[in-house]
Amino acid sequence: MGLVQGVCSCCGKKIRRESPVSIVVTCDCYRVCPLCGEQMEPYVPDLSPRTYRNENCVEWDPFKAAERDERSTATVYVCRRHDPPFYSNRLPVEVLLK
């Protein structure tokens, strides 16, 4: 078993795994709240038609120029330790280990 390693381009953390070949892993830093450093919880967007009816309707907003709420469908994690809660839309960072 060989050892492969790489550095996350987002948080700079060194990641090591045992693998005979180069592999791509996902750094979990996107789950860490940048404000308090705690693990955030997955955020399930409120997709009820009542909330998003206007923004997602092409006829109502043909040029997609409308301002969108911070809590859009892009939000994937939330830290509720803050007021208001911190909503993150960071995506998992892929790190090549070799």
Per CB under 5 A, residues contacting Zn ion are 8, 10-11, 13, 27, 29, 33, 35-36, 79, 81
User: Smallest distance from the beta carbon of 41 to Zn ion, in angstroms?
Assistant: 10
- Of 25 and 33, nearer to Zn ion (C-beta) is 33
Helix, strand, coil % in the chain, rounded to nearest 5:
10, 30, 60
**Residue partners of 61: CB distance under 8 A and separation at least 6:** 54, 55
User: To which residue do tokens 């693998």 refer?
Assistant: 19
User: Smallest distance from the beta carbon of 61 to Zn ion, in angstroms?
Assistant: 32
User: Smallest distance from the beta carbon of 23 to Zn ion, in angstroms?
Assistant: 16
